[in-house]
C-alpha cells in the first residue's frame, strides 16, 4: 500500500499530465513518509532521490536522505545521487504552520521559490515541475518566473486534496 494519502494526489496529477515515464529521473522534495517516491517507482522511474527533514524508511530503488533542503550543499548531494539531470522535480514540502498568517505565508512562498529555483537550474529541457502551493498565497513573483521558464503553468486541485484545505498544486510543463 501507499505510505501516505498524498500518494493519491500525485497519482491524479500524473494520470492527467503523464509526467513519470519509464526511465525518468525524479527528485522529490519533502518526501516523508515516501508516498510520492513509491508512486514514481511504481510508474517506472529509474532513479528517484528524495529528501526530508524527517527520516524516511528505506524504499528499494530510491536514494533517500534526511536533511533540510534549504541548507547549503543538499541540492548538490541530491544531484550526485541522481546521476544526471532530472526529468521531473516534485515538491510537497510544507512546514509546520505557526498560526501567524503572515509568517506562515512567507515560509510557504520561500519553500516554493527554493524548489522552483532548483527545478529551473537542474531540469533538462522539456522537464517538468510540480509544487504544493496554497490558494490565496501570493506566489506572484515565482509564477511569473515559471511562466518565462516553462511552456505551460497550471494550478491543479486534485479531488483527493481535502476540499476545505487551501492546498493546490502548481504544475509547470516543458521547461524551455
Ligand atoms: N509527498 C509526501 C508523501 O507522499 O509521503 C508527503 C510530504 S508532507 C505533506 C511534507 C513534508 O515536507 C514533511 O515531511 C516535512 O518534513 C517536509 N519538509 C518541510 N520543509 C522541508 C525542508 N526544508 N527540507 C526537507 N523537507 C522539508
Domain-wise residue ranges, the chain:
6-175
Helices and strands counted in the chain (H then E): 5, 7
Mutate to test the pocket of ligand 1, among 53, 70, 78, 166 (most ligand atoms within 8 A of CB): 53
Residue 148 Cβ inside 6 Å of ligand 1? The answer reads no
Which residue among 9, 21, 107, 132 is the active-site one? 132
pLDDT tens for the chain, 176 residues long, are 999 999 999 999 999 999 999 999 999 999 999 999 999 999 999 999 999 999 999 999 999 999 999 999 999 999 999 999 999 999 999 988 777 878 877 888 899 999 999 999 999 999 999 999 988 766 778 999 999 999 999 999 999 988 878 899 999 999 99
Distance 68 CA to ligand 1 centre (A): 10
Q: How far is CA 150 from the centre of its chain?
A: 16
- Determine the Cα–Cα distance for residues 138 and 58; give it in Å rounded to an integer: 36
CA pseudo-torsion sign 83, 85, 87, 90 = positive
What nine digits make up the cell of 93?
A: 514540502
Q: Is 154 helix (H, G, I), strand (E, B) or coil?
A: strand
What nine digits make up the cell of 49?
A: 532521490
* Spatial contact of 170 and 153, defined as CB atoms under 8 Å apart: yes
Distance 123 CA to ligand 1 centre (A): 20
* Spatial contact of 171 and 143, defined as CB atoms under 8 Å apart: no
Question: Which one, of 119, 98, 99, lies nearest residue 19 by Cα?
Answer: 119
Residue 35 Cβ inside 6 Å of ligand 1? The answer reads yes
Query: Is residue 9 annotated as part of the catalytic site, yes or no?
Result: no
Q: What is the pTM of this model?
A: 0.97
User: Which of 3.40.1280.10, 3.40.50.150, 3.60.20.30, 3.90.25.10 is the CATH number of 6-175?
Assistant: 3.40.50.150
Distance 158 CA to ligand 1 centre (A): 18
Q: Whose CA is nearest to atom 16 of ligand 1?
A: 53
* Spatial contact of 93 and 122, defined as CB atoms under 8 Å apart: no
Strand 25-29 relative to strand 47-52: parallel, antiparallel, unpaired?
Answer: parallel
Amino acid at each position: 500500500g501507499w505510505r501516505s494519502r498524498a500518494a493519491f494526489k500525485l497519482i491524479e496529477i500524473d494520470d492527467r499530465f503523464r509526467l513519470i515515464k519509464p526511465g525518468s529521473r525524479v527528485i522529490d522534495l519533502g518526501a516523508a513518509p515516501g508516498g510520492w517516491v513509491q508512486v514514481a517507482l511504481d510508474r517506472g522511474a529509474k532513479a528517484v532521490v528524495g529528501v526530508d527533514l524527517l527520516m524516511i524508511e528505506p524504499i528499494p530503488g530510491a536514494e533517500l536522505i534526511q536533511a533540510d533542503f534549504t541548507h547549503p550543499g543538499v541540492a548538490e548531494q541530491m544531484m550526485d545521487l541522481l546521476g544526471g539531470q532530472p526529468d521531473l522535480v516534485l515538491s510537497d514540502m510544507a512546514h509546520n504552520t505557526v498560526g501567524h498568517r503572515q509568517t506562515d505565508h512567507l515560509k510557504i512562498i520561500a519553500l516554493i521559490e527554493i524548489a522552483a529555483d532548483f527545478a529551473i537550474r537542474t531540469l533538462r529541457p522539456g522537464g517538468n515541475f510540480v509544487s504544493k502551493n496554497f490558494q490565496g498565497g501570493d506566489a506572484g513573483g515565482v509564477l511569473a518566473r515559471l511562466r518565462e521558464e516553462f511552456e505551460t503553468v497550471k494550478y491543479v486541485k486534485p479531488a483527493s486534496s481535502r476540499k476545505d484545505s487551501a492546498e493546490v498544486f502548481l504544475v509547470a510543463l516543458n521547461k524551455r
